[in-house]
Structure 1
Amino acid sequence: MNRMLRNATLILCNTALLADLAACSKPADTAAPAADAAAPKPSLQDLQNPKAVQQAVASTLPQGDKATPLTSYRKIDSGHQVMFLYYGMSSLPVPYEDVAQIYSAEYSRTSDGFQRKDILKALQPRIDQEIERAKAGRYVILESRDGALLERYNFEKKTFTIKDMTSNDRYTYFHDNSQYTLGQSNATDFANLPVPDETKARAIEGYLSKYAQLRMEVYGFAQDADPSNRRVKLQVMKVRLYSPSNELLAEI
């Protein structure tokens, strides 16, 4: 048995032992809540299932408010915005020199140590301001335009599969600053875009057959910052699909 499984076994055993002790310490006339009896017990099989582990981790993250109006979401179209959001979400100290190297062409162009120090001193308040602004704006919109955003229509399910939503492991980056990325913790929940209306389904299928540039808006809530890969994790809140003429075709 490797170390990971051995540790997992110890955790599960300790959890079970603590549960038994807690049960024994209850007064005889105190009944356990019904929810406790129905709650599933952890198992090694759950720990070996990457999807189950991923869902368990996602459930511990802060959750966005579905009542938040869509007008409160701000558009993300730059890697610098992602960078500031990352440090706004992270508890790590801001590496100002690294940020300035990416953010400021003037700073990155010069090798003069004194000039770099002066530029950094001038930049630091602006960097702090951008980070605070990003921290206060955790509801964001990602927009994409493509002629192949969707799979062809599934007549049985009456849905179009959104290609970029078929895995929670996909991520988005911007060319101006690709070191910081955006991931989605629940993308697969939005993988199938329902279009029960045949007229709209026909219109979307027609656009796909012509490789027309459809536009998609993904509304997300910034839940966490992952320092292992400089990635902000988003909880997808809503997805909207628009025609080339900006007509709302479908949403989920």
Structure 2
Amino acid sequence: MKNATILAVQIALAFSLAACSKKQEETPAGAPAAAAAAAAAAAAAAPSLADLHNPEAVNKAVAATLPKGDPATPLNAYRKIDSGHQVMFMYYALSNMPAPYDEIAKTYSDEYRRTSDSFKQRDILKALQPRIDGEIAGAKNGRYVMVDQQDSRLLQRYDFEKKSFAINDFSDDRYTFFNDNSQYTLATTNAADFSAFKVTDEARAREIEGYLSSYKPLRLETYAYAQDADPSNRRIKLQVMKVRLLDARGTVLAEM
């Protein structure tokens, strides 16, 4: 599925390049300056043939084809994700693949996993199936999620030139998992847009730096929209919508 998606994007890139070339050919020689400038900007932004062999460009193109969340969604509409089981149900909700009930039950139910009695396993599985189906259906209708992280090493130290605190976990090659079920993971498709908190107020920057220098825990709330499931590594792709930094008392220190 992933290879097919990438192939589709590559074809789209190629057609986009061809369409751009055709537009340039059809532009009249005496076009107004504004139109010529717009055409030049479009040509600069258009994909090149080299992009078809550039993994980063292809990944960006793939991300551009995914469904997008609504920025106007209120924060109280996001449901908290704090278990790998929730990620598992979301994965099967978005992948549209048949749920492997036996495999899910082994992870989800201690009773099912501990018994070696095949009749008991069958009875437990029969009882679990409606619950599993319900969790998957709920996940499909609950794609706005919030991940709450608490640590003393969430941020890098203050960058005086950029006047910002970089977020350690926000990079394209990082992913999040939960210990109760680490087989299913979360990753972001727009991490670069939320890579650092811009803090220009010196008093607030000093306060946050004080937490970091004394290794006091901070909280990072990441609000995101679940866009897709990647079957190659059982990973949910998240579009980050909003990020908030809070202290241990729940006071918001920075947000974007």
For the residue of structure 2 that corresponds to 1:164, the secondary structure is: coil
Alignment correspondent of 2:126? 121
Alignment correspondent of 2:190? 186
**Contact 1:214–1:244 (CA<8 Å) still a contact in 2?**
yes
**Contact 1:150–1:161 (CA<8 Å) still a contact in 2?**
yes
Residue 168 of structure 2 corresponds to residue 157 of structure 1: no
What is the aligned counterpart of 1:49 among 51, 54, 63?
54
Give the superposition deviation at 1:47.
2.3
In structure 2, what is the Cα distance between the partners aligned to 1:36 and 1:82? Answer: 44
- Tell me the number of residue pairs that the alignment of Structure 1 and Structure 2 aligns: 237
For the residue of structure 1 that corresponds to 2:244, the secondary structure is: strand
Alignment correspondent of 1:204? 208
Relative distance call for 1:242 and 1:18 in structure 2 (3 A) is closer
Alignment correspondent of 1:74? 79
Give the superposition deviation at 1:188.
1.7
Alignment correspondent of 1:3? none
Code of the residue aligned with 2:226 in structure 1: it is A
Give the superposition deviation at 1:20.
9.5
In structure 2, what is the Cα distance between the partners aligned to 1:49 and 1:36? Answer: 24
In structure 2, what is the Cα distance between the partners aligned to 1:201 and 1:22? Answer: 51
Relative distance call for 1:44 and 1:211 in structure 2 (3 A) is same
Alignment correspondent of 1:145? 150
Alignment correspondent of 1:60? 65
Give the superposition deviation at 1:43.
2.2
What is the aligned counterpart of 1:195 among 183, 195, 199?
199
**Contact 2:14–2:49 (CA<8 Å) still a contact in 1?**
no
Relative distance call for 1:17 and 1:161 in structure 2 (3 A) is closer
**Contact 1:12–1:43 (CA<8 Å) still a contact in 2?**
no
**Structure 2, unpaired ranges of 5+:** 1-6, 27-34
Alignment correspondent of 1:227? 231
Code of the residue aligned with 1:59 in structure 2: it is A
For the residue of structure 1 that corresponds to 2:73, the secondary structure is: coil
**Structure 1, unpaired ranges of 5+:** 1-6, 27-33
In structure 1, what is the Cα distance between the partners aligned to 2:13 and 2:97? Answer: 34
**Contact 1:12–1:42 (CA<8 Å) still a contact in 2?**
no
**Contact 2:17–2:47 (CA<8 Å) still a contact in 1?**
no
For the residue of structure 2 that corresponds to 1:163, the secondary structure is: coil
**Contact 1:73–1:219 (CA<8 Å) still a contact in 2?**
yes
Code of the residue aligned with 2:167 in structure 1: it is I
Task: Give 1:4-23 correspondences, 5 Å limit.
Answer: 15=15, 19=19
In structure 2, what is the Cα distance between the partners aligned to 1:111 and 1:62? Answer: 43
**Contact 1:107–1:116 (CA<8 Å) still a contact in 2?**
yes
Give the superposition deviation at 1:154.
1.0
In structure 1, what is the Cα distance between the partners aligned to 2:155 and 2:249? Answer: 18
Relative distance call for 1:21 and 1:164 in structure 2 (3 A) is closer
For the residue of structure 2 that corresponds to 1:196, the secondary structure is: coil
TM-score with structure 2 setting the length: 0.84
For the residue of structure 2 that corresponds to 1:212, the secondary structure is: coil
Code of the residue aligned with 1:116 in structure 2: it is Q
Code of the residue aligned with 2:236 in structure 1: it is V
Give the superposition deviation at 1:36.
7.6
Give the superposition deviation at 1:168.
1.2
Kindly report the root-mean-square deviation, in angstroms, between the aligned alpha carbons of the 2 structures: 2.8
Give the superposition deviation at 1:89.
0.8
TM-score with structure 1 setting the length: 0.86
Code of the residue aligned with 1:160 in structure 2: it is F
